[in-house]
Amino acid sequence: MNGVNILLTLSFLGLATFIASAYDPSPLQDFCVAIDDPNKASVFVNGKFCKDPKYAKAEDFFFSGLNIAGDTNNKVGSNVTHVDVDKMPGLNTLGISLVRVDFAPYGESPPHTHPRATEILVVVEGQLSVGFVTSNQDGNRLFSKVLNKGDVFVFPIGLIHFQFNPGKVPAVAFVGFGSQNPGTITIANAVFGSNPAINPEILAKAFQLDQKIVEQLQKKFWVAN
């Protein structure tokens, strides 16, 4: 192996390490039960501080209440009950979390993306019309499907996706995420509901809309589901 090859190999290994660390890291211990930062001035690095393992207890790995339907009485007709690291401290560093999503008849989870996780969904009640759109480079292709009870769909990390209940009865889904803290960016909220507002002239050009319509959209209340 000559010097150039060694250099290329080393660069590749460096890149592979970077890619691997771009996701929730694999834990180097059995668990790392999260505690709130006892010192607000401390540096907060990709996760939370760990409880001394000898003080960990079963409750750190436990959550109760996903049998309870969320309140869907809002503008989008859906509700998300999160079981993330904030609700279950034992999830810290484990790279996984769970939510229950309730949909009123014709309710939806509006177009959104999760910056840190792939999402896998199973319908346990009712019906859902779901889909995701690929990136610009892949032609913004829509992959969509109508799901019935027991059907499963996966939404790749970072891609814009939605779920809509086309039925006259409520729908319920459970969703697993490949992150303890997947994050959610609801497109309408981020674009039209940012704080402070994005210059409406910019949005008018971006969306090919009259500026007055943009200003109306910016005055609306956007439900963060």
Question: CB under 5 A: which stretch of 6-14, 81-89, 113-121, 131-139 binds Mn ion?
Answer: 113-121
Least CB distance to Mn ion at residue 161 (A): 6
Q: Binding to Mn ion by residue 84, rule CB under 5 A?
A: no
Question: CB under 5 A: which stretch of 73-81, 112-120, 141-149, 186-194 binds Mn ion?
Answer: 112-120
Question: CB under 5 A: which stretch of 2-10, 44-52, 77-85, 118-126 binds Mn ion?
Answer: 118-126
The residue count for binding Mn ion (CB under 5 A) is 1
DSSP assignment string, the chain: --HHHHHHHHHHHHHHHHHHTTSPPPPSSS---EE--SSTTS---SS-EEPPGGG--GGGG----TTSPP---STT-EEEEEESTTT-GGGTTS--EEEEEEE-TT-EEEEEE-TT--EEEEEEESEEEEEEE--GGGT--EEEEEEETT-EEEE-TT-EEEEE--SSS-EEEEEEESSSS---EEHHHHHHS-SSPPPHHHHHHHHT--HHHHHHHHHSPPP--
Q: Is the CB of residue 172 less than 8 Å from the CB of residue 127?
A: no
Residue least distant from Mn ion (Cβ): 119
Shorter beta-carbon distance to Mn ion: residue 84 or 119: 119
Least CB distance to Mn ion at residue 119 (A): 5
Least CB distance to Mn ion at residue 53 (A): 33
Question: CB under 5 A: which stretch of 17-25, 32-40, 91-99, 117-125 binds Mn ion?
Answer: 117-125
Q: Which of 84, 102, 108, 119 binds Mn ion (CB under 5 A)?
A: 119
Least CB distance to Mn ion at residue 91 (A): 18
Q: Which residues bind Mn ion (CB under 5 A)?
A: 119
